[in-house]
Amino acid sequence: MRARFILTKLVGALSTLAFVVAFNFFLFRVVNENTVESMFRGRNLSPSQIARLERQFNLDGSKWEQFTAYVGQLLHGNLGLSMKDFRPVTTVVGEALWPTVLLVGTSTLLAMTGIFFGFRAGWRRRSGYDVGVTTFSMFTYSMPDAWLSMVFLGLFASGLGLFPTGGLEDSGSNAAGLAKLLDQAHHMALPALVLAIAYIGEYTIVARSAMIDTLREDYLQLARAKGLRDSEVRSKHAQPNAMLPVVSLSALNFGFVLSGAIAVETIFSWPGLGQLTRNAATGPDFPVLQGLFLLFSASLIFANLIADLMYGRIDPRVGGR
Protein backbone atom coordinates (compact mmCIF):
# COMPACT_ATOMS: atom_id res chain seq x y z
CA MET A 1 0.00 0.00 0.00
CA ARG A 2 1.12 3.52 -0.66
CA ALA A 3 2.09 5.67 2.31
CA ARG A 4 -0.28 8.35 1.03
CA PHE A 5 -3.21 5.94 1.21
CA ILE A 6 -2.38 5.00 4.82
CA LEU A 7 -1.85 8.63 5.82
CA THR A 8 -5.16 9.66 4.27
CA LYS A 9 -7.02 6.98 6.22
CA LEU A 10 -5.28 7.93 9.48
CA VAL A 11 -6.09 11.61 9.05
CA GLY A 12 -9.70 10.75 8.25
CA ALA A 13 -9.99 8.56 11.35
CA LEU A 14 -8.46 11.21 13.62
CA SER A 15 -10.69 13.91 12.15
CA THR A 16 -13.77 11.78 12.74
CA LEU A 17 -12.65 11.09 16.31
CA ALA A 18 -12.16 14.82 16.94
CA PHE A 19 -15.68 15.51 15.69
CA VAL A 20 -17.05 12.74 17.93
CA VAL A 21 -15.30 14.24 20.97
CA ALA A 22 -16.87 17.65 20.32
CA PHE A 23 -20.28 16.18 19.52
CA ASN A 24 -20.09 13.95 22.59
CA PHE A 25 -19.44 16.94 24.83
CA PHE A 26 -22.23 19.17 23.55
CA LEU A 27 -24.79 16.39 23.09
CA PHE A 28 -25.22 15.65 26.79
CA ARG A 29 -25.31 19.34 27.68
CA VAL A 30 -27.93 20.14 25.06
CA VAL A 31 -30.10 17.22 26.20
CA ASN A 32 -30.18 18.54 29.77
CA GLU A 33 -28.48 21.68 30.99
CA ASN A 34 -29.43 20.99 34.64
CA THR A 35 -27.50 17.74 34.84
CA VAL A 36 -26.90 17.79 38.58
CA GLU A 37 -30.51 18.61 39.42
CA SER A 38 -31.74 15.81 37.15
CA MET A 39 -29.44 13.24 38.70
CA PHE A 40 -30.12 14.23 42.30
CA ARG A 41 -33.77 15.11 41.91
CA GLY A 42 -35.90 14.61 44.99
CA ARG A 43 -33.01 15.17 47.43
CA ASN A 44 -33.77 18.82 48.20
CA LEU A 45 -30.22 20.00 47.59
CA SER A 46 -29.36 23.51 48.65
CA PRO A 47 -27.91 25.99 46.14
CA SER A 48 -24.48 25.66 47.76
CA GLN A 49 -24.59 21.87 47.46
CA ILE A 50 -25.62 22.11 43.81
CA ALA A 51 -22.77 24.54 43.14
CA ARG A 52 -20.29 22.20 44.85
CA LEU A 53 -21.47 19.24 42.79
CA GLU A 54 -21.26 21.27 39.57
CA ARG A 55 -17.64 22.12 40.38
CA GLN A 56 -16.93 18.48 41.19
CA PHE A 57 -18.31 17.32 37.84
CA ASN A 58 -16.81 20.25 35.87
CA LEU A 59 -20.22 21.69 35.05
CA ASP A 60 -19.50 25.22 36.24
CA GLY A 61 -18.16 28.00 34.06
CA SER A 62 -18.92 28.73 30.43
CA LYS A 63 -19.41 26.04 27.83
CA TRP A 64 -16.01 26.80 26.33
CA GLU A 65 -14.32 26.46 29.73
CA GLN A 66 -16.13 23.17 30.30
CA PHE A 67 -15.10 21.95 26.84
CA THR A 68 -11.41 22.77 27.29
CA ALA A 69 -11.48 21.07 30.71
CA TYR A 70 -13.16 18.05 29.16
CA VAL A 71 -10.58 17.76 26.36
CA GLY A 72 -7.78 18.18 28.90
CA GLN A 73 -9.22 15.33 30.95
CA LEU A 74 -9.46 13.10 27.88
CA LEU A 75 -5.82 13.73 26.98
CA HIS A 76 -4.91 12.45 30.45
CA GLY A 77 -7.19 9.41 30.15
CA ASN A 78 -9.73 10.84 32.59
CA LEU A 79 -13.42 10.42 31.71
CA GLY A 80 -14.70 12.13 34.86
CA LEU A 81 -16.65 10.82 37.84
CA SER A 82 -19.79 8.74 37.89
CA MET A 83 -22.72 10.63 39.38
CA LYS A 84 -24.12 7.41 40.76
CA ASP A 85 -21.31 6.17 43.00
CA PHE A 86 -18.66 8.93 42.59
CA ARG A 87 -16.10 6.51 41.15
CA PRO A 88 -13.97 7.29 38.08
CA VAL A 89 -15.82 6.51 34.86
CA THR A 90 -12.76 4.64 33.59
CA THR A 91 -13.06 2.26 36.56
CA VAL A 92 -16.79 1.75 36.08
CA VAL A 93 -16.42 1.12 32.35
CA GLY A 94 -13.32 -1.02 32.83
CA GLU A 95 -15.18 -3.40 35.15
CA ALA A 96 -17.83 -4.02 32.49
CA LEU A 97 -15.43 -4.16 29.55
CA TRP A 98 -14.10 -7.70 29.89
CA PRO A 99 -17.51 -9.42 30.27
CA THR A 100 -18.71 -7.74 27.08
CA VAL A 101 -15.55 -8.59 25.12
CA LEU A 102 -15.87 -12.19 26.34
CA LEU A 103 -19.56 -12.52 25.45
CA VAL A 104 -19.89 -10.52 22.23
CA GLY A 105 -16.42 -11.46 20.98
CA THR A 106 -17.14 -15.17 21.42
CA SER A 107 -20.53 -14.92 19.74
CA THR A 108 -19.04 -12.96 16.84
CA LEU A 109 -16.41 -15.65 16.26
CA LEU A 110 -19.11 -18.32 16.34
CA ALA A 111 -21.26 -16.33 13.91
CA MET A 112 -18.37 -16.06 11.46
CA THR A 113 -18.86 -19.75 10.65
CA GLY A 114 -21.68 -18.41 8.47
CA ILE A 115 -18.99 -17.33 5.98
CA PHE A 116 -18.34 -20.98 5.09
CA PHE A 117 -22.04 -21.72 4.62
CA GLY A 118 -22.51 -18.55 2.55
CA PHE A 119 -19.62 -19.33 0.21
CA ARG A 120 -20.86 -22.86 -0.32
CA ALA A 121 -24.44 -21.68 -0.92
CA GLY A 122 -23.28 -19.06 -3.44
CA TRP A 123 -21.13 -21.60 -5.26
CA ARG A 124 -24.08 -24.00 -5.49
CA ARG A 125 -26.63 -21.32 -6.35
CA ARG A 126 -30.28 -22.45 -6.75
CA SER A 127 -29.50 -25.88 -5.32
CA GLY A 128 -31.40 -27.40 -2.42
CA TYR A 129 -28.48 -26.55 -0.13
CA ASP A 130 -28.61 -22.91 -1.24
CA VAL A 131 -32.35 -22.65 -0.65
CA GLY A 132 -32.07 -24.22 2.81
CA VAL A 133 -29.13 -22.06 3.92
CA THR A 134 -30.67 -18.86 2.54
CA THR A 135 -34.00 -19.54 4.22
CA PHE A 136 -32.33 -20.24 7.55
CA SER A 137 -30.15 -17.12 7.20
CA MET A 138 -33.08 -14.83 6.45
CA PHE A 139 -35.00 -16.32 9.38
CA THR A 140 -32.21 -15.78 11.90
CA TYR A 141 -31.27 -12.37 10.47
CA SER A 142 -34.81 -11.07 10.99
CA MET A 143 -35.23 -12.63 14.44
CA PRO A 144 -35.21 -10.12 17.37
CA ASP A 145 -32.44 -11.09 19.79
CA ALA A 146 -34.54 -9.90 22.76
CA TRP A 147 -37.35 -12.29 21.86
CA LEU A 148 -34.93 -15.16 21.27
CA SER A 149 -33.25 -14.43 24.62
CA MET A 150 -36.55 -14.74 26.48
CA VAL A 151 -37.40 -17.97 24.64
CA PHE A 152 -34.02 -19.54 25.44
CA LEU A 153 -34.11 -18.27 29.02
CA GLY A 154 -37.59 -19.66 29.63
CA LEU A 155 -36.94 -22.98 27.88
CA PHE A 156 -33.37 -23.98 28.70
CA ALA A 157 -32.79 -22.09 31.98
CA SER A 158 -36.09 -21.74 33.84
CA GLY A 159 -37.83 -24.72 32.20
CA LEU A 160 -35.24 -27.46 31.80
CA GLY A 161 -32.72 -26.02 34.26
CA LEU A 162 -29.80 -26.81 31.96
CA PHE A 163 -28.24 -23.37 32.27
CA PRO A 164 -28.15 -20.56 34.87
CA THR A 165 -30.78 -17.84 34.55
CA GLY A 166 -28.23 -15.04 34.52
CA GLY A 167 -25.08 -13.46 35.84
CA LEU A 168 -21.40 -13.95 35.08
CA GLU A 169 -20.86 -16.70 37.66
CA ASP A 170 -22.60 -18.34 40.60
CA SER A 171 -23.22 -15.87 43.44
CA GLY A 172 -21.03 -16.56 46.45
CA SER A 173 -18.82 -18.90 44.45
CA ASN A 174 -15.20 -19.20 45.59
CA ALA A 175 -14.10 -21.12 42.51
CA ALA A 176 -10.75 -20.25 41.00
CA GLY A 177 -8.69 -21.26 38.01
CA LEU A 178 -10.25 -23.77 35.63
CA ALA A 179 -13.35 -24.23 37.80
CA LYS A 180 -14.05 -20.50 37.60
CA LEU A 181 -13.61 -20.44 33.83
CA LEU A 182 -15.97 -23.38 33.42
CA ASP A 183 -18.54 -21.66 35.64
CA GLN A 184 -18.34 -18.48 33.54
CA ALA A 185 -18.56 -20.51 30.32
CA HIS A 186 -21.69 -22.21 31.67
CA HIS A 187 -23.28 -18.82 32.38
CA MET A 188 -22.18 -17.45 29.01
CA ALA A 189 -23.46 -20.34 26.89
CA LEU A 190 -27.05 -19.16 26.41
CA PRO A 191 -26.43 -15.44 25.73
CA ALA A 192 -23.51 -16.25 23.44
CA LEU A 193 -25.65 -18.73 21.51
CA VAL A 194 -28.44 -16.16 21.15
CA LEU A 195 -26.07 -13.53 19.76
CA ALA A 196 -24.37 -16.05 17.45
CA ILE A 197 -27.74 -17.07 15.99
CA ALA A 198 -28.66 -13.40 15.57
CA TYR A 199 -25.39 -12.61 13.73
CA ILE A 200 -24.78 -15.74 11.66
CA GLY A 201 -27.44 -14.88 9.10
CA GLU A 202 -25.73 -11.59 8.26
CA TYR A 203 -22.39 -13.29 7.58
CA THR A 204 -24.02 -16.00 5.50
CA ILE A 205 -26.02 -13.58 3.35
CA VAL A 206 -23.03 -11.29 2.68
CA ALA A 207 -20.71 -14.22 1.90
CA ARG A 208 -23.28 -15.76 -0.45
CA SER A 209 -23.79 -12.49 -2.32
CA ALA A 210 -20.04 -11.94 -2.60
CA MET A 211 -19.55 -15.42 -4.03
CA ILE A 212 -22.34 -14.96 -6.57
CA ASP A 213 -20.78 -11.68 -7.74
CA THR A 214 -17.40 -13.38 -8.05
CA LEU A 215 -18.83 -16.18 -10.20
CA ARG A 216 -19.52 -13.64 -12.94
CA GLU A 217 -15.82 -12.80 -13.33
CA ASP A 218 -13.99 -13.92 -16.45
CA TYR A 219 -10.91 -15.19 -14.61
CA LEU A 220 -12.95 -18.08 -13.19
CA GLN A 221 -13.77 -19.21 -16.71
CA LEU A 222 -10.07 -18.93 -17.55
CA ALA A 223 -9.16 -21.04 -14.50
CA ARG A 224 -11.59 -23.74 -15.61
CA ALA A 225 -10.19 -23.57 -19.15
CA LYS A 226 -6.77 -24.34 -17.71
CA GLY A 227 -8.16 -27.64 -16.47
CA LEU A 228 -8.47 -26.82 -12.75
CA ARG A 229 -11.04 -28.77 -10.81
CA ASP A 230 -14.06 -26.94 -9.36
CA SER A 231 -12.74 -27.33 -5.82
CA GLU A 232 -9.46 -25.69 -6.85
CA VAL A 233 -11.24 -22.88 -8.69
CA ARG A 234 -13.37 -22.22 -5.65
CA SER A 235 -10.59 -22.34 -3.04
CA LYS A 236 -7.79 -20.65 -5.01
CA HIS A 237 -9.67 -18.07 -7.08
CA ALA A 238 -13.29 -17.53 -6.06
CA GLN A 239 -13.11 -17.49 -2.25
CA PRO A 240 -10.07 -15.16 -1.91
CA ASN A 241 -11.76 -12.52 -4.07
CA ALA A 242 -15.15 -13.02 -2.42
CA MET A 243 -13.49 -12.33 0.95
CA LEU A 244 -13.25 -8.59 0.29
CA PRO A 245 -16.73 -7.55 1.51
CA VAL A 246 -16.61 -10.22 4.22
CA VAL A 247 -13.40 -8.72 5.62
CA SER A 248 -15.06 -5.32 5.85
CA LEU A 249 -18.10 -6.80 7.58
CA SER A 250 -15.97 -8.74 10.05
CA ALA A 251 -13.86 -5.73 10.97
CA LEU A 252 -16.91 -3.51 11.49
CA ASN A 253 -18.69 -6.17 13.55
CA PHE A 254 -15.67 -6.47 15.82
CA GLY A 255 -15.89 -2.71 16.20
CA PHE A 256 -19.40 -3.20 17.53
CA VAL A 257 -18.15 -5.73 20.09
CA LEU A 258 -17.49 -3.02 22.67
CA SER A 259 -20.99 -1.60 22.30
CA GLY A 260 -22.30 -4.76 23.89
CA ALA A 261 -25.81 -6.09 23.44
CA ILE A 262 -28.14 -4.10 25.65
CA ALA A 263 -31.20 -6.34 25.32
CA VAL A 264 -29.35 -9.65 25.69
CA GLU A 265 -27.12 -8.48 28.53
CA THR A 266 -30.12 -7.06 30.40
CA ILE A 267 -32.25 -10.20 30.00
CA PHE A 268 -29.43 -12.51 31.09
CA SER A 269 -28.17 -10.09 33.79
CA TRP A 270 -24.76 -10.10 32.13
CA PRO A 271 -22.57 -7.41 33.79
CA GLY A 272 -21.22 -5.92 30.57
CA LEU A 273 -21.23 -2.60 28.77
CA GLY A 274 -24.71 -3.15 27.39
CA GLN A 275 -26.25 -3.49 30.84
CA LEU A 276 -24.09 -0.61 32.09
CA THR A 277 -25.49 1.57 29.30
CA ARG A 278 -29.05 0.73 30.32
CA ASN A 279 -28.35 1.43 34.00
CA ALA A 280 -26.62 4.71 33.22
CA ALA A 281 -29.52 5.82 31.01
CA THR A 282 -32.09 5.15 33.75
CA GLY A 283 -30.04 7.18 36.26
CA PRO A 284 -29.35 9.25 34.31
CA ASP A 285 -25.58 9.06 34.88
CA PHE A 286 -24.39 11.46 32.19
CA PRO A 287 -20.60 11.09 32.72
CA VAL A 288 -20.86 7.30 32.30
CA LEU A 289 -23.10 7.69 29.24
CA GLN A 290 -20.65 10.19 27.81
CA GLY A 291 -17.73 7.85 28.39
CA LEU A 292 -19.59 4.89 26.88
CA PHE A 293 -20.60 6.88 23.80
CA LEU A 294 -17.00 7.92 23.26
CA LEU A 295 -15.74 4.36 23.72
CA PHE A 296 -18.31 2.92 21.28
CA SER A 297 -17.57 5.57 18.67
CA ALA A 298 -13.79 5.26 18.99
CA SER A 299 -13.91 1.46 18.68
CA LEU A 300 -16.04 1.71 15.54
CA ILE A 301 -13.73 4.34 14.02
CA PHE A 302 -10.71 2.15 14.77
CA ALA A 303 -12.42 -0.93 13.31
CA ASN A 304 -13.34 1.04 10.18
CA LEU A 305 -9.72 2.15 9.85
CA ILE A 306 -8.52 -1.46 10.14
CA ALA A 307 -11.10 -2.52 7.53
CA ASP A 308 -9.90 0.17 5.11
CA LEU A 309 -6.25 -0.80 5.57
CA MET A 310 -7.00 -4.51 5.19
CA TYR A 311 -9.11 -3.81 2.09
CA GLY A 312 -6.26 -1.83 0.61
CA ARG A 313 -3.87 -4.65 1.41
CA ILE A 314 -6.05 -7.34 -0.17
CA ASP A 315 -7.15 -5.36 -3.23
CA PRO A 316 -4.26 -3.52 -4.98
CA ARG A 317 -6.75 -1.30 -6.81
CA VAL A 318 -7.80 0.26 -3.49
CA GLY A 319 -4.39 0.57 -1.86
CA GLY A 320 -2.82 2.08 -4.93
CA ARG A 321 -0.07 -0.51 -5.29
pLDDT at 319 over 60: no
pLDDT in tens, 129-160: 999 999 999 998 888 888 888 998 888 888 88
d(CA 169, CA 181): 9
Note the pTM of the prediction, 2 decimals.
0.77
pLDDT band at 42 (very low <50, low <70, confident <90, very high): low
pLDDT at 169 over 80: no
Residue 49 Cα to chain centre, angstroms: 39
CATH of 93-284 given 1.10.510.10, 1.10.10.10, 1.10.3720.10, 2.60.200.20 = 1.10.3720.10
Mean pLDDT, the chain, rounded, equals 81
Q: Could you state, in order of their start, the residue ranges of all structural domains in the chain?
A: 93-284
* Burial (0-12, 13-18, 19+ Cβ within 10 Å), 67: middle
pLDDT in tens, 8-34: 888 888 899 999 988 888 877 666 656
Burial code (b: 16+ CB inside 10 Å, e: under 16) for 201-229 equals bbbbbbbbbbbbebbeeeebeebeeeebe
Residues 6+ apart with CB under 8 A from 156: 162, 163, 190
Half-sphere exposure of 9 (CA within 13 A, CB side): 21
Spatial CA neighbour of 187 closest among 278, 94, 112, 264? 264
Spatial CA neighbour of 280 closest among 298, 293, 296? 293
CA angle, 250 then 94 then 87, to 5°: 150
